[in-house]
Every structure is written in C-alpha cells, then in structure tokens.
Amino acid sequence: MATEIIIHDQKDNVGVVVIEKITPKQDCTCWIMENDSSTSIQSKDEIPLGHKIAMNDLNEGDTILKYGHDIGKVVKPIKKGEHVHVHNVKTKKW
C-alpha cells in the first residue's frame, strides 16, 4: 500500500504530504516514522506535495507539532483532514 502522508513523531498533530498532491475526500495512508506504524485519514482539501494536513481538529491558539516540535500556532480553527498552511497557522516568534 502506498504512503501519501508521513507523520514524524507520534505527538505530531500534522502530517506531511509526500506525493504530488492529495485531493478532497481522498483516503490516505499515513506512516508514523517514530514507531513504524500506520494510520489513515480522509482529506478535506487539495493539498500539494510538502504541505501539511491536520491529523485532528485544531482550535485557535493550539500549538502545531511537527517533527515532535512546536512550529507555530493555529490562528483559525482547522478540521481534521484540512490543509495546514500560512492561511491558518502563524509562527509564535513574531
């Protein structure tokens, strides 16, 4: 079975798309690198290669975890399966 999404750490609440793009309502296989396990998710949006997908519902103010590290905060609610990018996440540095 092909892997469309990689999750680096079990604590991550986003995964990274590793194919050209995923389409809305696409059923995706996710590989969790940390423990070599897998899970699945259905996308809600078209998401291009290298971009992030929400692995669970996220509320405004929540911390985004990628590679097991804090990479920013949610600035508007994100539903499981939605595209996570600059339109709904901002850095905490500025």
Domain boundaries, the chain: 5-90
Is a pLDDT exceeding 80 seen at residue 1? no
Residue 16 — very low, low, confident or very high, per pLDDT cuts 50/70/90?
very high
Determine phi and psi for 35, rounding to 5 degrees.
Answer: -125, 15
**pLDDT reported for residue 28:** 98
Task: Look up the CATH number of domain 5-90.
Answer: 2.30.130.110
| Model pLDDT, residue 71 | 96
Position 58 scores a pLDDT of 98
Query: CB within 8 A of 77, min separation 6: which ones?
Result: 57, 58, 59, 60, 88
Cβ atoms of residues 49 and 21 within 8 Å:
yes
Tens-place pLDDT, residues 17-37: 999 999 999 999 999 999 999
Name 15's bridge partners: 53
Distances, alpha carbon 34 to alpha carbons 7, 10, 13, 31, 56, in Å: 8, 7, 14, 9, 18
Q: What pTM did the predictor assign?
A: 0.94
